[in-house]
Structure 1
Amino acid sequence: MKRMKSQGSNNGSRTKVTAPLEEMLENRNHDNPIKVIQTLARLLEETEVNETTSLSFSNLVAYLYKPKGPFKGLKIDASENEARSMRSGTDSVMDTKVSIQLPRELDAGSENTIVFCMFTWPEANWSKHEASDELYESRLVGLSVRGKNISGLQERVNITLAFTVNEMQKPSCVYLNEVTNDFSTDGCLTLWEPGQSNITCSCDHLTYFAVLMVSAPLSQTDLQILTYITQIEKVRADISMKVHINLAIALILLNVHFLPSQTVAAQYSKELCFYIAVSLHYSLLATFSWMALEGLHLYLLLVRVFNIYIRKYLLKLSVVGWGLPAVIVALVVIFDQSSYGRVPLDTTYTNSTQICYIRDTKVKMVTTVGVFGLVFLLNVIMLGVTVRRIVSLHKFKKYGQSDSNRAKKDICMLLGVTTLLGITWGLVFFSFGYLTMTGLYLFCILNSLQGFFMFLWFLMSLRKKGALSTKSSVTSITNT
């Protein structure tokens, strides 16, 4: 391994590698640190090296790794004065400040020099970027691969820093967003719990990283209480998924009984048609019930938040979601079995296609249209509450993702909530008058794809659940 130092060096040490860096560090502008960091990144990435090289200055440690053969990942350790990789066959550096684990997914070749640097700059003026003097130890860690723009990694880059913090602060992993010239958390997870002697920033891209200290005036008792709240939020997230699954089951039952309804109606078996009609009515009511319970659950998450402990919560939801439709259908069967049977899709034509469903118009209006109208009204209100909560959360999000990324995630979330609450079913109210054909087409297309939309929502939820680690209770509430 080749190692160079700038301080106390002879003229031979001022090589083409070190001279531009020394000049840049000596003439750096304290009032524009973002530009200095960008210049540093460019100089290091453009530096030509024939072998793995380590550089050390007064406040900068850099390591330029030259891959040889297939890239299988890389671990780099660095102290205040030196940096080296574990692939070199040497022991870890003394007084390690930062440890980097780079994934195999980088796929760096012999022309793709991997650049690591650790830069300490206590004199920098970050006031224009809201971070001021809140960067932990005024330290930034830079990572890049020459000739590649690394982002969207499936195997995350893990940056572990030696770390101590008092009870009045909490850390947040951030990176330097060169588009907004600000610090952002997008794509980075903060893996840390109170009492740990290190913190890990797990990110899906390469750039300049830092740990931002945020004031958190919490006592030890408060921290313990918030830990319990975080655990409750995890349980609540599991319950949310189970509520979604029950709605999915109701939709499956609805489709299973709706699809053969026309075929059964064409047969001569009254008993089978009666069964299909009753089952179709029950499945439809169960779907409406679970849509309403999705709205109730969303209300508890967004509005009540803390004081929502309900004993055997999921069991009680299931009794309502599956039991109430059974009671309604049973009453109809007891008082008038003839309400179920063959029904023409279009009553204006005698030879219209028939299905097995509710024959009595009054029963149909009260037990389906009436019930759904009530569910739709409540869930539209809950959708409005959700939009309002998203807007209010943005006002308090100081160091967040870029506006475009945040907007995409908000839109996806609102589309998911719209699907779960069954808002698209409201198109049935627009299937009359001049909007008859348009309303019917939209109603059929969107509601036929509701199960598919929910499947996508499940995938997003499972991916998010697998990626996130334990965070503060406020973060957990926001994510839920």
Structure 2
Amino acid sequence: MSCVFYPQVSSSTVSHQDQEILTYITTTGCSLSLVALVITVVLFVTNRKVRADVSMKVHINLVIALILLNLHFLPSQWVAAWSSTGLCLYAALSLHYSLLATFSWMALEGFHLYLLLVRVFNIYIRRYLLKLSLVGWGVPALIVSLVVTIDKGWYGRVALDNSTSEICYIVNPTVKMVTSLGVFGLVFVFNMIMLVVTVRRILGLCQTKEFGQRERHKAKRGVCTLLGVTTLLGITWGLVFFSFGYLTTPGLYLFCILNPLQGFFIFLWFVLSLRKSGNSATSISSVTHNTNS
């Protein structure tokens, strides 16, 4: 993702050798994440209990957005080098849309976790998933449609920093900054606010005498879940704001190591969630058996 997001604010101080290494790291990480994300979808589809979980349905939408992002990002240089203008326009539109959809579902993850942990652990919103989907998939489509309607020439071949390679993306620097970095900035600030508010709320509940031991344990577990998931869903992208001057190259390396592996990290978290769910079901079954005996 570094090619479509990070170099927009990086300087030209990155050497050609570093650029090649970063490209290799990014490609390897994205490929690994793509495989892990596809496996995650398969696990979701084949597990009836997981499919019934509303939270998992929210997570799987982010997984699908990341799959689309990786699918359109990995062949981006090949498409720019060998494709026609029409195909390049499609590739640029798809890459922009999938990137915005990823940001959108990151924000919805923060919103969902806030409702789940802060709203007294009980929430019911009519057609909740439908409304989330309209925002998660609809807002990115609206932004891309607006850009291409104003001037489809804003999409085309873009040269990478210190490289002869090109990708199909947004040509206009201002449009690129506003619709990519600007959108992510809003998502990043929103998720950080949700994280702080939720942690403060849960820690406050844990300190009250009326808060039972069972609820206190559930709250602590919720905080751990929130910290883990929110860290995976956008916090590392914030490295883009700390990559100026002497920090440009180290920031790029951190960014290109952590972010392309985001899908792989989500896969690990998903597998751990399945194991915890299985252990909980086993424990409940054991307690029921003992009680009946």
Relative to the length of structure 2, the TM-score reads 0.70
Structure-2 change in CA distance of 1:464 and 1:343 (3 Å): same
In structure 2, the residue corresponding to 1:416 is in which secondary structure?
Answer: helix
Counterpart residue type for residue 249 of structure 2: M
2:150 aligned with 1:335: yes
For the residues of structure 1 that align with 2:50 and 2:176, how far apart are their CA atoms? 39
For the residues of structure 2 that align with 1:241 and 1:395, how far apart are their CA atoms? 30
Residues 411-426 of structure 1 aligned to structure 2 (within 5 Å):
414-420=227-233, 422-426=234-238
Residues 239-278 of structure 1 aligned to structure 2 (within 5 Å):
239-278=54-93
Counterpart residue type for residue 186 of structure 2: L
For the residues of structure 2 that align with 1:306 and 1:416, how far apart are their CA atoms? 17
Same amino acid, percent of matched pairs: 69
Q: Report what 1:238 is aligned to.
A: 53
In structure 1, the residue corresponding to 2:53 is in which secondary structure?
Answer: helix
Residues 193-208 of structure 1 aligned to structure 2 (within 5 Å):
none
For the residues of structure 1 that align with 2:51 and 2:194, how far apart are their CA atoms? 18
2:251 aligned with 1:439: yes
Aligned counterpart for 2:164 among listed residues 314, 332, 352: 352
Q: Is the 8 A contact 1:416 1:453 kept in 2?
A: no
- Give unpaired runs (5+ residues) of structure 1: 1-233, 401-405, 472-480
Counterpart residue type for residue 375 of structure 1: V
Q: Is the 8 A contact 2:239 2:255 kept in 1?
A: yes
Pairs aligned (count):
230
Aligned counterpart for 1:368 among listed residues 180, 196, 217: 180
Aligned counterpart for 2:128 among listed residues 313, 325, 330: 313
For the residues of structure 2 that align with 1:448 and 1:240, how far apart are their CA atoms? 23
For the residues of structure 1 that align with 2:191 and 2:222, how far apart are their CA atoms? 21
Q: CA deviation at 1:385?
A: 2.7
2:194 aligned with 1:382: yes
Aligned counterpart for 2:141 among listed residues 322, 326, 332: 326
In structure 2, the residue corresponding to 1:466 is in which secondary structure?
Answer: helix
Q: Which digits, 9 at most, give the CA deviation of each residue in 1:63-116, with x for residues without a partner?
A: xxxxxxxxxxxxxxxxxxxxxxxxxxxxxxxxxxxxxxxxxxxxxxxxxxxxxx
2:241 aligned with 1:429: yes
Structure-2 change in CA distance of 1:419 and 1:356 (3 Å): same
Q: Is the 8 A contact 2:116 2:122 kept in 1?
A: no
Q: Is the 8 A contact 1:341 1:357 kept in 2?
A: yes
Q: Which digits, 9 at most, give the CA deviation of each residue in 1:330-376, with x for residues without a partner?
A: 11111111111100112xx5x53211110011111111111110010
Q: Report what 1:465 is aligned to.
A: 277
Q: Is the 8 A contact 2:158 2:171 kept in 1?
A: yes
For the residues of structure 2 that align with 1:288 and 1:459, how far apart are their CA atoms? 23
Structure-2 change in CA distance of 1:432 and 1:237 (3 Å): farther
Q: CA deviation at 1:449?
A: 0.9
Structure-2 change in CA distance of 1:408 and 1:325 (3 Å): closer
Q: CA deviation at 1:417?
A: 2.7
Q: CA deviation at 1:325?
A: 0.5
Structure-2 change in CA distance of 1:330 and 1:399 (3 Å): closer
For the residues of structure 2 that align with 1:237 and 1:268, how far apart are their CA atoms? 42
- Give unpaired runs (5+ residues) of structure 2: 1-48, 285-293
Q: Report what 1:95 is aligned to.
A: none
Q: CA deviation at 1:415?
A: 2.5
For the residues of structure 1 that align with 2:240 and 2:83, how far apart are their CA atoms? 31
Aligned-pair RMSD on alpha carbons?
3.0
Residues 149-298 of structure 1 aligned to structure 2 (within 5 Å):
238-298=53-113
Structure number, greater radius of gyration: 1
Q: Report what 2:28 is aligned to.
A: none
Higher percent of residues as strand = 1
Higher percent of residues as helix = 2
Q: Is the 8 A contact 2:77 2:167 kept in 1?
A: yes
